[in-house]
Structure 1
């Protein structure tokens, strides 16, 4: 049942109340690494040992995930020797939530003690050298949503008024992920297709028409999706280190665009899951927090 709280409380008060309620459920457990799982990638949460599951609709002030393929819950426990808090499903601007509400869980995880995030998504590939089923380490992003979660009064407890975004996606974390990908390729005897590129974040919920995809590719976008940028802006604001990974589920090349459904996106993400899960698990094992 949804816990009812004062709807007039400030944003920082709501963050504190949500984090305090979650911590009460966790007892002495303190998560150190957060994972945000996108469409079709939620099965990684099943790898968490001694899991404690908390549905979003139980947490004070939390929105509810409405997207098919998003379980809508936290899973907290041990993964590869580290205490993690996994978002099995996220919130999107196109669901009708404000951008501040979309990124609310990022600040809650920071309040719980999380300093590092692995943020994943399903994305369309705009770079012609990519193929469906590839994974892409996000090097940077284009915020094409027309909104920003930091608009409005700034609370210094959350972060500085003008946060730096020169390294929103950690170079150190990307380098580690690349080394892991190379090791996986050697062990498998076949290449793990681990790309790097810029993620273009749009509002959705419609898939873009050819002219807009061509525009974004010319602006420097390598992949496109409907999440992540707001969360990473908030994470930078909160001084959290981020590894971003896109699962390329389809090729969104403007003049060669083919019809696409959400079911197709989830199907390709499901096929890519074994490699994705191994990559993330090994990253969690090896990363120094």
Structure 2
């Protein structure tokens, strides 16, 4: 794994001039933020050695380097999921590469289903904790160069970044929620009883990504900020049939608010 990470990092450095300070992972239907990145240098996943390829609609499959919010960034326009058939080391491989490219902070976004009865479709939820119901990406041999065998997870999401995001949202009149994200394997959407279970165990939203990437980022010492767009509701009385296309549509409608928050956060880092 370490050799592959270094090989991929060397290839990317040979193709782009940007030295990124911040890594950004964009979720389903949330790739529009990349339009604001200036002086872009783009690599398709398919051209990058050892990189998986996105197979889900709404995930374009490109690494985009450039300037955003006064910072040098690398954005993943499309992520990888366990349900696509990739193992957890493949799902989280880009996070390790970002770290070796010099990234100092990781920003993550996703589309998720709200199980908190106070949430509405289109809400933004800043993630302050998670519950992992996916295989842990650190299972297997551990290379000490990546980080400790048993990483501390008492602060998976950086408190300072959370506070900064809340201040920016308030200043711009953007209402945000805050809460716990439950990570599941997918690819099915949840049953009513599963939604109920996730709420009982402490979840506010549920989705099929994010948690593995955050675990690996924390092992490698990267502070993380993550935000969910609530694209459907798993609340009794509000559960309706949902499709992937509808998730993408809601994500795009709320994306502008998320982009504003992230760009201003970058300006303040």
TM-score normalised by structure 2 residue count: 0.98
Change (3 A) 1:13 1:254: farther
Q: Say whether the 8 Å CA contact 1:211–1:254 is kept in structure 2.
A: no
CA distance in 1, matches of 2:183, 2:154: 17
Q: Which stretches in structure 2 are left out of the alignment for 5+ residues?
A: none
Partner of residue 200, structure 1: 182
Separation in 2, partners of 1:167, 1:275: 25
3-state SS of 2:29 partner: coil
What aligned pairs does 1:33-44 form with structure 2 within 5 A after superposition?
A: 33-44=22-33
Q: Secondary structure at the match of 2:266?
A: helix
1:88 is displaced (CA, Å) by: 0.4
Structure 1 residue aligned with 2:158, among 170, 176, 184?
170
CA distance in 2, matches of 1:80, 1:258: 38
Report whether the alignment pairs 1:272 with 2:254.
Answer: yes
- Residue of structure 1 aligned with 2:15, choices 22, 25, 44: 25
Task: Say if 2:48 is the partner of 1:64.
Answer: no
Distance between the aligned counterparts of 1:17 and 1:128, measured in 2? 47
State the 1:277 CA deviation.
1.3
- Kept in 2: contact 1:209–1:254 (CA 8 A): no
Q: Does residue 263 of the first structure (1) align with residue 251 of the second (2)? A: no
Select 1:150's aligned residue among 114, 117, 138.
138
How far apart are the structure 1 equivalents of 2:40 and 2:81?
Answer: 25
Q: Which residue of 2 aligns with 1:116?
A: 105
Q: For the residues of structure 2 that align with 1:206 and 1:254, how far apart are their CA atoms?
A: 18
User: Within 2, Cα distance between the matches of 1:115 and 1:93?
Assistant: 25
- 1:122-159 per-position Cα deviation (integer Å, ceiling 9, x unaligned): 001100101111100000000012x1110011001111
Which of 217, 228, 231 is matched with 2:199 structurally? Answer: 217
- Deviation sequence 1:96-130 (CA, Å, 0-9, x none): 00011100000000000012010000001100101
Q: Does 1:95 align with 2:84?
A: yes
User: Which residue is equivalent to 2:121?
Assistant: 132
Aligned-pair Cα RMSD in Å: 0.9
Question: How far apart, in 1, do the equivalents of 2:146 and 2:75 lie?
Answer: 21
Cα distance per residue 1:173-214 (max 9 Å; x no partner): 0000000011001xxxxxx22000000000000001011110
SS of residue paired to 2:102: coil
Q: What's the CA shift string for 1:235-277, capped at 9, x where partnerless? A: 0111000001001111112564211000110111111122111
Residue aligning to 2:232: 250
- What is the number of residues matched between the two proteins? 269
How far apart are the structure 2 equivalents of 1:101 and 1:163?
Answer: 19
